Amino acid sequence: MGIYGLKDEEINHVRRLLEREPNDVEWSVISVIWSEHCSYKHSRKYLKNFLTKAKWVEQGPGENAGVIELGNGYKLVFKVESHNHPSAVEPFQGSATGVGGIVRDILALGARPIALLDSLRFGPQDNLKNRYLFNGVVSGISFYGNCIGVPVVGGEIIFEDCYSSNPLVNVMCVGIVPPGGKIYKGRAEGKGNLILLVGARTGRDGIHGASFASEKLEEDIHSQRPSVQVGDPFMGKLLIEACLEAGSLEGVIGIQDLGAAGLVSALSESASRGGSGVVVYLDKVPQREENMTSEEILISESQERMILIVEPEKIDRIKNVFKKWDLEAEVIGEVIDEEKFIAYFKGEKVVDLPIKLLTKDSLEFDPPFKIRERIPMPILSKNEEKIEGFIKKLIEDIKIKEYIYQQYDYSVQTNTVLPPGRGDSAVLRIKDTKMAIALTIDGNGRYCFLDPKMGAMNAVSEACRNILCVGGRPLAITDGLNFGDPDEPEVFYQFREVVSGINISSRVLEIPVVSGNVSFYNGQGDNRIFPTPIIGMVGILENIDYLITPDFKEEENLIYLLGDLDWLSIEGSEYIKYSYNIIAGNPPYVNLLWEKRLKSFMEDIRKEKIILSAHDISDGGLLNSLLEMSFWGEKGIDITLPEVEDYERLLFGEGSGLIIVEISEKNKEYFVKKVEEYKLKAFLLGKVVRGNFKIKPYIDYPLKKIIERGD
């Protein structure tokens, strides 16, 4: 590496473009804005292939977040972001500032943040360091979310060896814009319009944070603590209210969050979108530390800061809004016609760079890739103790998830209809309407390790089923793509294949990708993470009466499986990982034509209100889904499965396109008719009963053992 971590070819590229040697401050500015975290130099070529448009999409990739229309004038704004490296170094602050950053992305569009979801990956908890990371991350997320009054309504958590020392912390935020509300863009336009910096003072925390997120973690991670930002959720709450109030007034042209690369990124990206330039006077930036240099001011990633582009004649009124909320608001520069980023410090021009150089002219890298050989499935010997142990593990998992959700205030704002851990998706009502939104976040790194493309297709199709299982109609995706070092051929192969799998599924299911994030360089030493795409998905319930919950409702109701038992397989499953410590075989095959028909069927039949509960089959297989439905409903089951030699496959095997549904006996004929109309398969498993949890001829548990979580 050369100057500030730039490659030699990048350094020469800068010199050719500028036809001069940048000064030290300019090199620092270029290095952070050309970091992987900001420039997407390994990924942007491939992300361009995504389906990003639909009649309900107002804003796709390119802004701080995606925007979709819900109907009746309401709009939904959402995005997922990662904060992996900071959380590995300082788990509490790393995850807390991850929440703060994604909330401000939503706020920058003019939307009120209404929900958070998290997707978390950690190493095994019998390791003290992994437990420290786990406790710190969960505490940081709950602390920031609870303090700012935005509920954490859903998520997932996975423990695997490969995430030891490098946890994955992906946080999704969703915001809403009511009828008549204005969507803002991160645009700096209009010569003479003023740049208003609002919120916290600028300090030295997060210096070169974007560069830190674009490189491998060092063995001595404590040395990287200065790169981690420090959050203040109480100021974050004030900033939310002040920005929403200011945004309701005339005179605000654009709003931009200050995140990675601080002022450099916020101002250059805003100017690029607006086809303009900016001049900034760094002495005017409010500072909380003495003797800060121009470089530190420019690239600091101090939290709780926003940029507003404001018409000069309206500036006093806008500043008074922030004063009312006890927040600083200072004019630090203005918009110019010439497409340049110019910065002055103590009367000296310290930066004079073309906007295009900072935002569009970074090199793209397309390194070689190498296909990794598949891991064949070994022959396993049956062991009744392993089977019993895995069942206890599934019951215990319910307890762990409940513990995590108890840390979050998911009822704040009083919109949560279906809380976390009680369904395939969270459901939030939209006040004063009959509408509700369904939200989910999902991923399976183990599947993607075995087959990146098929694993990614599984992630998209499962997220779709999660929305369908609560009575929602899937609308759009935000993706968080987590990988190791892209210069390693196997890793870059994984990335290419994952993007392809997401793209294929998105197009066939007609669910566009409207926002997202890519995080490379996850792993430490020889410990490489699984390729881990995270799919956040949103859907709409046009009528809250369409709501389906996963808990079994009434005795004597029928339990059906939509799909085929033959699709279940223990290859790549949680069962063989836990019971035999093996990750091998192929992930579930995704038949997208089936998934599309299933999607159409569920979107149609929800309006008939005959499906009383629904739950898809994923990790842990058929047995796990039935355990959860019984646990949530406090009802037993009487189910009969075929008597086969490989009954572990039936109980614990995983498959794509499979949903368990509950219907009443009186609706059986109509249900079967609708299944045939959509050319689907449905297998009658059994019925809901009082007393025991019985899967003949294999399992007969007292229901009390399930409800008490095996204690």
**Nearest in space to 425 (alpha carbons), one of 469, 478, 363, 380:** 469
* Distance (Å, whole) CA 432 – CA 411: 17
Q: Where are the beta strands (DSSP E) in 464-511?
A: 473-482
How far does the chain reach from its first CA to its final CA, in angstroms? Answer: 55
Q: Are 169 and 120 within 8 A, CB to CB?
A: yes
β-strand 152-159 against 112-122: which pairing, if any?
parallel
Token pair listed for 180: 């008549």
* Sign of the dihedral defined by the CA atoms of residues 587, 593, 596, 597, in that order: negative
β-strand 305-310 against 194-199: which pairing, if any?
antiparallel
Token pair listed for 425: 């998706």
Tell me the one-letter amino acid at 317. Answer: R
β-strand 194-199 against 152-159: which pairing, if any?
unpaired
How far is residue 368 CA from its own chain's centroid?
Answer: 28
Tell me the one-letter amino acid at 331. Answer: V
Active-site residue, from 42, 83, 208, 615: 83
* Distance (Å, whole) CA 387 – CA 385: 5
- Give the HSE-up count for residue 368: Cα atoms under 13 Å, Cβ half-sphere: 1
Residue 313 burial (CB < 10 Å; 0-12/13-18/19+)? exposed
Active-site residue, from 13, 37, 85, 615: 37
Tell me, yes or no, if 222 is annotated catalytic.
no
**Which one-letter DSSP state was computed for residue 379?**
P
Tell me, yes or no, if 42 is annotated catalytic.
no
Token pair listed for 262: 């601080």
- 124: preceding bond cis by omega (within 30 degrees): no
- Based on C-alpha coordinates, what's the Rg of the chain? 26
* Distance (Å, whole) CA 569 – CA 641: 15
Q: Are 568 and 434 within 8 A, CB to CB?
A: no
Residues sharing a CB contact under 8 Å with residue 241, sequence separation 6 or more, in sequence order: 325
**Residues classed as catalytic:** 37, 83
